[in-house]
Each structure stands twice: as structure tokens, then as C-alpha cells.
Structure 1
Amino acid sequence: MNDIDFSVVLPALPYLWSGLTFSLALTAAAFVIGMILGTALALVQHLDVPGASHFARGYVTLMRSVPLILVLFWFFFLVPIILGFLNGTGRPVPIGATYTAFITFGMFEAAYYSEIIRVGLRSLQRGQYEAAMALSLSTWKTYRLIILPQVFRVVAPIILSQTIILFQDTSLVYVLSLTDLLGAASKVGQLNGRLVELYLTVAVVYLVICLAASQIVAGLRSRTALKTR
């Protein structure tokens, strides 16, 4: 313990900040993509759209059955080959590590958000749907104006909990040679031989962010519980 020197952290702060910015940007983008695609998947299954509902169930099952790191490898190595085959050149079409990370994380999280939203759809009372029918609202307006706002309000704590896990999972982009918060700490630590100090610093950053988000989750759960009484 006497060899630990946290003075090496201060010069590394700009690089760590850059890594943290990337992690947060990836989390935000994956959240937006995941919520949009996840909502669509949930609605397709909930409405039991012919053909599309089977595809949605298969997609969700596949994404939830394999590790995220494997999906990253699939997208990074296989999609360029498939694109090269489709355009007739036979040559892989490079996508790039950054696009791979943003698209893959969004597609992967969509499966989890989809299940959360689907459970929320099933939890609403039948009277909500019957009231919309009595008002002669179309299916689109029923879900956009009545059903989905209530669902999002109910499942908000669970969605935020999943987003915390998403933020932690961003460290997996190291397999694509991208520099997130943990990756930045690792690179700086290897250069100056102070991995312990850098890893401890990053652990504190993750702890603070996740604890703050967890407090928001707890607050949302309390508000939801009060409204349902």
C-alpha cells in the first residue's frame, strides 16, 4: 500500500474524461436506439402482428441468449462480409469500430427494453383499451396517447436499472480497440506503470455514477408505488 501514488491520476484526467465522454455517449445512443427498436418489437409481439411477431420473438430470444461481446464480434466481422456479398463486389465493406459499437449496443439493448415494455403493456388494465375503443380512437392513437405513456411511467425504474447495466457494459468496447473510461485508464496505467491507481480511480467513478442513478431509480419506484395506491 505504501507504493500507491494517486498523484499520477491528475495528469491522466483529460484522457480519462475523454474515455468517460465516449462511455456516456455510447450509453445515450444505445438507450435511444434500444428504446425505439425495443418499443417497436414489444408492440409487434403485443399486437401479435402476423409474421412480424414471430420474427420479433426470435430476435429477442437470440439477443438475450448470447453474450454482448459475441454480438460485437458478429457485427464487426460478419456484417462487412455480408454487405460485400450483397453489393456484388465480394469484398468486405468496412463499417468501423465506432459504428459497430453504437449500432450493436443499440440492437442488443433493444431486446431487453422490449421485454420490459412488453411486460408493462400486459400489466395495464383491460379497461384502458376498452375506454380507447369507446372513444373510437385508432390503434395508433390508442397506443401513442393512452397506452404507451402509462407503460413508460410504470416501467421507468426498470428501464433505468437496465441502462445502468448498459453503462457498465460499455467497457466491452475494448475488444474493438475503442477507448472508453476503463480502456483509457488501462492505457495510461500501462504507460506509467500505475494500473492500480488508475483502476481504483475508475472504480470510484463507476461507483459514483451508478449510485446516483440507483438513487433516481429508488425515487422513481417510490413515486410509482404512491401513484398505484
Structure 2
Amino acid sequence: MDFTDFVKGFTVVWNNLDYLAWGNFPDGPISGILLTLLMSFAAIIFATLLGIISGIGLTILTGWSRRILVVILGFLRAIPVIMLIFWAYFLLPVLFNIDVPAIATVIIALGLIGAAYIAYAVYAGMKAITKDQWQAAYSLGLSKQQVIFYIILPQAIHMMMPSFVNQWVSLIKDSSLAYIVGVAEFTFLATQVNNRSMVYPTEIFLFVIVVYFIICWMLNFAVSRFTSNSKI
């Protein structure tokens, strides 16, 4: 491949840039990069909230309730993401007897697996807080819930933020697996563009790599700036 062909390949990307960015919107549903961002953001919010709740559960629960939670989280961490997306897509409509959109099943699947990893990050952060802080908080007359939410949990989240970012980045990348249930996210549309041209796969998927890199780098940069400026 000479330089001229290489440039022509990126011309194909440029000519389809609008389609890759948001699909046929507003004349059709949102897709492409915009859909990837929306799905990833929704999955990150869902995974983080559920993960924090589960992490607190690992810390304070005992007996059978904790064992059940450990088994559920272990199961979610053990199965491949693509299999959970597949199961959610076909099982949720059967279980709830409703038509669950494919995008919703992907968000739920990504959120569940992300929550399992975030839960153990929160648990590790909370366990790292010294017992002296727990005892000092109790001596001030605070309830267990107040100690967790006002003293222990903020410190744990701040310490484990790098682990959070790693999991958020994984969720963004794993959103590309939505193609198995026909969701027209970024890589799905890039594959369509490649199938139409058939001669510039290197340039098209190099563009995909660059876009994912920029998204993940911007997320990491934003969180780094936020954590460096925040004080607990």
C-alpha cells in the first residue's frame, strides 16, 4: 500500500464521518459514536451505584446474606461479557414478559459485570480504613450508617478511584460487544462502512482505535483532574 492509497482510505472515513458519529440521526435512531458514549455513560452510572451498594454489603453483611452476595458477584466476574449480553437479550423478555430493547439489555449486562468488580474495589478501600477511624466516629455518637456514608465510604472511593477508572474504561471498550444483539454502536457502523468499501479496512479500524483511545484518555484525564483538585 502506497501513501496515496493510505490517504484515500482516510477519505472514505471522512466522507462517512457523520454516519460514524451519529448514524442517520435525526432521521433515524441515534447510533455510532454517540450511541457508544450514551450506552457507556449509562452502564458506568449503573455499575458504579450498584457496585458501591454491593461493596458496602460485602463490608457490613454477615452470614448467609454475605455468602449469597459473594456467590452472585463471583458468578458475574467469572462469565464472559459477551455471554451475559447474549443471555440478558434473550432471557429478560422471557422473565418479565416484556419487550426489552437491545440497548437496555447491553447496558444492564455491562452494568452488572462492572458492578461486580467495583464492589470488590469499594470493599478493599473500606477495609483499608483503620479501625481507629471507625471507633473514633462511633465515640462521637454517629450511627453505623452515618460512619459509612460520611467518613469511611468517601475515603474508600477516593483511594480506589484508579480501580474505578480502569473498570469504566473496560465498560467503554466492552460496549463494542453490543454488535451481537444488533445494536448499531460505533464499531458496528465502522464494519458496515468497511463492508461497503472492502479495500480500506486498515484506515477505517485505525480510526476506530483512535476514537476509543481519545474517549478513554479524556475520561482518565477528567477523573485525574477531579481527584487531584478534590479534598476529603
Task: Place the TM-score, normalised by the shorter chain, in its bin.
Answer: 0.7 to 0.9
Q: Residues of 1 paired with 2:96 and 2:214: CA distance?
A: 42
Q: Residues of 2 paired with 1:187 and 1:112: CA distance?
A: 33
**1:140-187 per-position Cα deviation (integer Å, ceiling 9, x unaligned):** 111111111111111111101211111111110010111212112111
Unaligned runs of 5+ in 2: 23-31
* Alpha-carbon shift at residue 64 of structure 1 (Å): 0.6
Q: Which residue number in structure 2 is paired with residue 87 of structure 1? A: none
| 1:218–1:149 CA distance, 2 compared to 1 (3 A) | closer
Q: Which residue number in structure 2 is paired with residue 89 of structure 1? A: none
User: Which amino acid in the other structure matches residue 13 of structure 1?
Assistant: L
Alpha-carbon RMSD across the aligned residues, in angstroms, is 2.2
Q: Residues of 2 paired with 1:160 and 1:94: CA distance?
A: 33
| Aligned counterpart in structure 1 of residue 120 of structure 2, from 82, 95, 115 | 115
| Aligned counterpart in structure 1 of residue 169 of structure 2, from 164, 173, 180 | 164
Secondary structure of the residue aligned to 2:160 is: helix
* Alpha-carbon shift at residue 82 of structure 1 (Å): 2.4
Unaligned runs of 5+ in 1: 85-92
Q: Spell out the pairing of 1:1-229 with structure 2 (5 A cutoff).
A: 1-2=1-2, 3-4=5-6, 5=8, 6-18=10-22, 19-84=32-97, 93-193=98-198, 194-215=200-221, 223=228
Q: Which residue number in structure 2 is paired with residue 88 of structure 1? A: none
* Aligned pairs, number: 217
Comparing 208-217 with 28-37, greater Cα deviation is found at 208-217
User: Which amino acid in the other structure matches residue 111 of structure 1?
Assistant: A
Q: Residues of 1 paired with 2:89 and 2:74: CA distance?
A: 21
Q: Residues of 1 paired with 2:109 and 2:59: CA distance?
A: 24
TM-score (structure 1 length as normaliser): 0.86
Q: Residues of 2 paired with 1:204 and 1:35: CA distance?
A: 26
- Answer yes or no: is the 8 Å Cα contact 1:156–1:220 preserved in 2: no
